[in-house]
Amino acid sequence: MKRFKNKKILITGGTGSLGKELVYSLLRNEEPKIIRIYDVDETEQFNFLQELKHDFRNDPKHYEDTVRFLLGDVRDKERLNRAVEGIDIIIHTAALKHVGACEYNPFEAVKTNVLGTQNIIDVAIDNNVGKIIFTSSDKAVNPSNTMGATKLLAEKLMTAANYYKGDRKCIFSSVRFGNVMGSRGSVIPLFTQQIKTKNPVTITEPTMTRFMMSMSQAVDLVFESVEMTQGGEVFIFKMPVVNILDLAEVLIEGLAPKYGHRVEDIRINTIGTKPGEKMYEELMTEDEAARSLEREDMFIIPPEMREELPDWDESKYNATSIKSKDFISKDVLPITKEQIKSILRNDGII
């Protein structure tokens, strides 16, 4: 059964890496009535339109009758309000995500990640949108940087919205991602460019570990959350832990010959941690884990004030109380280089 058949969907930040994959997955696997791509970057909107024209050149009506590009900023509530008219589902991916940029421009991060999210909430309530999913980050857990702190506050805003929406049908929830392999601004495109230009690959610390997920996993998490949400939850896919040095070495081995270089000619330089950067990541805090649920594929953090949600039913998740400790990267055995290689191949990165 098509999960989003005849649904009208708004994707904020729709020309970003995740936004584009969501659009392609909806077009290829579902039958939405409308996909509105809301983004502040006109150049990326133009480029994405050309991609769609090329990829659906044999069936242009497949996207022409469905996709609408809307230029606008999540900071602009009036523009958002018009974009949300008649929408059934909002997937909110628009954000300032670069840790360094947010550290040096903290209030800009607040305006987009926090005030922008509140704008989404306000216009969703005003327009009685059915479901609203916010895409967060594992950096929201015990945040050590501005970006993580703004993501955490945005999560709190999303959960709280369920308590004051009145009799409207809106359901608000969040998903937490680890590092999405190949996403714009992530470490893999950086390493790839360094290898391509025969420059040293720069890693922060050889023992640093990160949770990593494929782009297809990220899309699946969003779609599953849309289906499962009752309101106020944070959904987290279980994902493998990758050692940053292993990742760099696998990329060098896989990409150096492709760009006409010898593997041994690409050096690895250790440059140390950047401001706000952790040596390991967490998917949830110990306090969150104490009240969380676990399934084979994901963790679910329920809202704390469940008495405010009288229809909330834990049994609907088919989950148990949390049993594993697989939510702190330093406590999880990293996957092997062969496993990293397999994931990168499946995603077409090497």
How many whole angstroms separate alpha carbon 19 and alpha carbon 84?
17
How many whole angstroms separate alpha carbon 126 and alpha carbon 77?
11
Does residue 179 sit in helix, strand or coil? strand
- Cβ–Cβ under 8 Å, residues 175 and 136: yes
- Cβ–Cβ under 8 Å, residues 99 and 186: no
Secondary structure E strands in the chain: 8-12, 34-39, 67-71, 89-92, 131-137, 171-177, 179-180, 201-203, 209-213, 234-237, 241-243, 268-270, 293-294, 298-301, 320-321
Label each residue of 156-171 as H, E or C.
HHHHHHHHHCCCCCCE
Tokens matching residue 323: 């049993």
- Cβ–Cβ under 8 Å, residues 180 and 220: no
- Cβ–Cβ under 8 Å, residues 130 and 142: no
Does residue 334 sit in helix, strand or coil? coil
How many whole angstroms separate alpha carbon 224 and alpha carbon 29?
14
How many whole angstroms separate alpha carbon 227 and alpha carbon 304?
21
Residue whose structure tokens are 């994901």: 298
- Cβ–Cβ under 8 Å, residues 136 and 151: yes
Whether 139 sits among the annotated catalytic residues: the reply is: yes
Q: How many CA atoms lie within 13 A of 13 on its CB side?
A: 22
From the list 7, 20, 97, 139, the catalytic residue is 139
Beta bridge partners of 131: 89, 171
* Catalytically annotated residues: 139
